[in-house]
Amino acid sequence: MKKLVVLTGAGISAESGLSTFRDAGGLWDNYPVEQVATPEGWARDPALVTRFYNNLRRQLLAARPSRAHRLLARLEAAYDVTVVTQNVDDLHERAGSTRVVHLHGELMKVCSSRDPDNPRFVRTLTPPDVEVAPGERAADGSLLRPWIVWFGEAVPQMSTACEAASAADVFLIIGTSLNVYPAAGLVQYVPAGTPVYVIDPKPVPVASSPHLHVLRTTASAGMEQVYTELTGHAAPPTE
């Protein structure tokens, strides 16, 4: 079975009603990145950061996977699919994707602020209890913090993503500006000659090649076309 590797960004989740960070009216307009997405912001005001991510979780509970999410999951019937996402939501999993690499962490998980990547102290929040009280502690006694990779922190899953990209038979990019590194460099690991599809209504900085297919449209409309091209069948209805 051919390997399909997919890199997704905020554009695929925007169709589900989740605010993006960088677009006009996005989350960074209301909360500076330094305040809620850096270790320094956490150290300065952990209660504010905790409230910010509690609010994001409430938004996520109200969101549903888009048609693009669901069509990606359907492709597992024809391809060995690995989704590498810059998003911290769980919409890929809820749509049915079974192999998802979260480069920037997971919104529905919390961890120790002393030892964030120690699996002993990572906990998954489930509805309806998705809010963390300011001052709440992890099992090691440190403050509970979101299991999110903040700016200035290492990206533990990057090596896994690079390994997947280097074995791709088809590489698909959906809804990401490719402005955030190291994720933006992932396409450099794709073998030469591999078909690369880009779905985004805005220009995306990917080197031109005979194997590059650019679809300047939304995630779901683009996935309809890509699904048909990769399978030879019309995209099936999804919920």
User: Which active-site residues does the annotation give?
Assistant: 104
State the Cα–Cα distance between residues 223 and 42, nearest whole angstrom.
37
CB 72 within 8 A of CB 81: yes
Helices H / strands E in the chain, number of each: 9, 9
Instruction: Indicate the pairing of strand 105-112 with strand 123-124.
Output: antiparallel
* Residue 75 DSSP code: G
CB 123 within 8 A of CB 111: yes
Burial degree of 159 (CB within 10 A; 0-12, 13-18, 19+):
exposed
DSSP 90-103: SHHHHHT-S-EEET
* Residue 76 DSSP code: G
For 58, the token pair is: 């409430």
